[in-house]
Amino acid sequence: MKMKMVLLLVLVWMSAASAAKLGVVQTEGGQVEGKSHWTGLLRSVDVFKGVPFADVPGKWEKPKPHPGWSGVLKATEYRERCLQVTLLQTKTQGSEDCLYLNIFVPQGLTLSTNLPVMVYLFGGAFLLGASNDLAILGDSLYDGKEMADRGGVIVVTVNYRVGTMGFLSTGDSRLPGNYGLWDQHAAISWVRRNIRAFGGNPDNITIFGQSAGAASVSFQMLSPYSKGLFRRAITQGGVALSPWALQRNPMGLTKKVARSVGCWRTDEDEMIACLKMSDPVGLTMAGKINVLLLLGKGVVMDLLELAPVIDGDFIPDEPSQLFHNAAQFDYLAGVNSMDGHLFAGVDVPSINQKNATSVDQVRGLLARLTKEKGAAAIDSSYSVYTSNWGLAPEQDLVKKTVADIETDFLFLVPTQIALQLHANNSSGAGTYSYLFNMKTRIPGLPSWVEAEHSEDLQYLFGKPFSTPLVYFPRHRDLSGYMIAYWTNFARTGDPNRGDSRVPVTWPPFTKYHRPYVAINHQMTKYSVNYDLRSEYVSYWSRTYSSLPTVRTVEEEEKEV
């Protein structure tokens, strides 16, 4: 009898001790019901998957409002990704009906209210990817539960159109381009209008993203359409100033796509009419990347062609001329120390092999990267990158230099310039800079490789906590640091202030002082340094950019 009593009490206590849950939530389109996931004593995360934020989009049209639904929409499964080529590019996957988002809301004993909101834009070269991408060990890489639970923020992950369907453009009003950016804008706007019902604060929205998702965040910051829409932004390994982030000759690309789907016509209007009638699957396949086309001539970057354009509307001008629009947002940005290694390994394969990397290969890479500026650029860049080589450089140094060149050119330098333009234009909004330099966990890479492209994401999304068996305690330390800085920033605009303790104070980047923190598993006061790779930033942004252009993209096209 006594035993039964105790058991009953325990049961009563346990049911009372479960965290609050949202149940059915009323949105502008109708009611949605998600699922509550237990995360600890008195803690849970309400997860809503596949909530529509726009109607099924018309081909190469802006997204339209969703017509709404009656009854309760069960938001418990991810919806299909936007139509795209598969990773191996042999076929397509996904659907045109893809404008959905997912919401992760942390709960305690009582229902959460007024939480900061973090909206994530996935990466994938504007060609592939999804809000629920990369489910390797159970949940998607971008599953928001750990960040939401540990950081006390609402995480939202959104889909947007990619590839031909997301970015094909004629460079004029016939096919203006940037449909994927409009999708992102529609998703952020939906969050602003609806997130209060989920316990979020619509005046406290941070957008964040990585790679093409980071460049997307950057474009959202620069667009005049974002005025007052969100409050802060984080870019990880990509900005609108990255050389791969903008397509400057969209008509040239559209003609190539037209050729490959049998729509080539001398009359442009007829060609466009034909494209508009073409099968979306064929059009999507026509956007695939063919690395074999390089034949040692170009660099991988040249193949990333489907990208945002200056459309005179969402992006009215050169990105570097739009930073007055970004000045209203707090901004945190950085790169991985070897963000360019992946690309370098395709452009100069010997860096990852036993074979030697020759001085000629280094010069060859510089020549291919700088071809629009001709011989003067080869000589000047070569002397900058070999200044610390001495007479007989070790192979590891030569190989690392190749990775540094691509990291600087594709990611690091553009990010530093974006940080400077932001800080120089800001009056009140904060600017913060980081370098993520945790040693790579990818097996089989040479010992000099630090943080490869995308390696920051597993820590930010808390994988060392959710899949502890494949990580060590040091990885959980790092994961805790990143979640603390990122969610503090979302809460207050300052990565040091908020609900989470941080290992070292991260000083702001200003017009006259350029500190950054080195993010890894051992963070101390020595993690704060100044003027990240300033001689290389200065080379590319001053010396190189003032050299005269000898060949334009259009001339290149004619040669091919």
Ligand X SMILES: *[C@@H]1O[C@H](CO)[C@@H](O)[C@H](O)[C@H]1NC(C)=O
Q: Which residues are near ligand X by CB under 6 A?
A: 114, 116, 201, 203-204, 321-324, 350, 353, 355, 417, 420-421, 424-425, 491, 511
Exposure class string for 143-178: b at 16+ Cβ within 10 A, else e: bbbbbbbbbbbbbbbbbbbbbbbbbbbbbeebbbbb
Structural Rg of the chain based on CA atoms:
24
What length does the chain have? 560
If residue 84 lies in a helix (H) or strand (E), which one and from where to where?
strand 84-85
The smaller minimum CB distance to ligand X, of residues 112 and 278, is found at: 112
The smaller minimum CB distance to ligand X, of residues 54 and 322, is found at: 322
The smaller minimum CB distance to ligand X, of residues 76 and 355, is found at: 355
The smaller minimum CB distance to ligand X, of residues 76 and 113, is found at: 113
Cα(160)–Cα(548) distance, integer angstroms:
38
Question: Closest approach of Cβ 313 to ligand X, in Å?
Answer: 17
Question: Closest approach of Cβ 303 to ligand X, in Å?
Answer: 20
Determine which one of 189, 211, 242, 278 is catalytic: 211
Determine which one of 143, 311, 330, 339 is catalytic: 339
Question: Closest approach of Cβ 491 to ligand X, in Å?
Answer: 5
∠ CA 272-274-278, nearest 5°, is 115
In contact, 62 and 39? CB cutoff 8 Å: no
Question: Closest approach of Cβ 167 to ligand X, in Å?
Answer: 24
Cα(314)–Cα(308) distance, integer angstroms:
10
Cα(195)–Cα(140) distance, integer angstroms:
22
Question: Closest approach of Cβ 158 to ligand X, in Å?
Answer: 21
The smaller minimum CB distance to ligand X, of residues 464 and 495, is found at: 495
The smaller minimum CB distance to ligand X, of residues 296 and 443, is found at: 296
* Residue 453 bears catalytic tag: yes
Residue 32: both structure tokens together: 């949605």
For residue 218, what are the contacts with CB-CB under 8 A and spacing of at least 6?
233, 235, 238, 239, 240, 241, 245, 319, 418
Cα(117)–Cα(139) distance, integer angstroms:
21
Question: Closest approach of Cβ 292 to ligand X, in Å?
Answer: 16
Cα(219)–Cα(325) distance, integer angstroms:
10
Task: Output phi, psi for 181, to 5 deg.
Answer: -70, -40
Taking residue 137's Cβ as centre, other Cβ atoms within 10 Å add up to 12
Question: Closest approach of Cβ 425 to ligand X, in Å?
Answer: 4
∠ CA 515-519-524, nearest 5°, is 75
* Residue 324 bears catalytic tag: no
Q: Is 425 exposed, middle or buried (0-12, 13-18, 19+ CB in 10 A)?
A: middle
Question: Closest approach of Cβ 420 to ligand X, in Å?
Answer: 4
Q: Which residue is nearest to ligand X (CB)?
A: 424
What is the DSSP-derived secondary structure letter of residue 127?
A: T
The smaller minimum CB distance to ligand X, of residues 94 and 199, is found at: 199
* Residue 172 bears catalytic tag: no
The smaller minimum CB distance to ligand X, of residues 140 and 488, is found at: 488
Letter for the amino acid at 527?
S
Cα(507)–Cα(516) distance, integer angstroms:
7
Determine which one of 453, 475, 521, 527 is catalytic: 453
The alpha carbon torsion through 370, 372, 373, 375 (nearest 10 deg) reads: 70
Residue numbers annotated as active site:
211, 339, 453
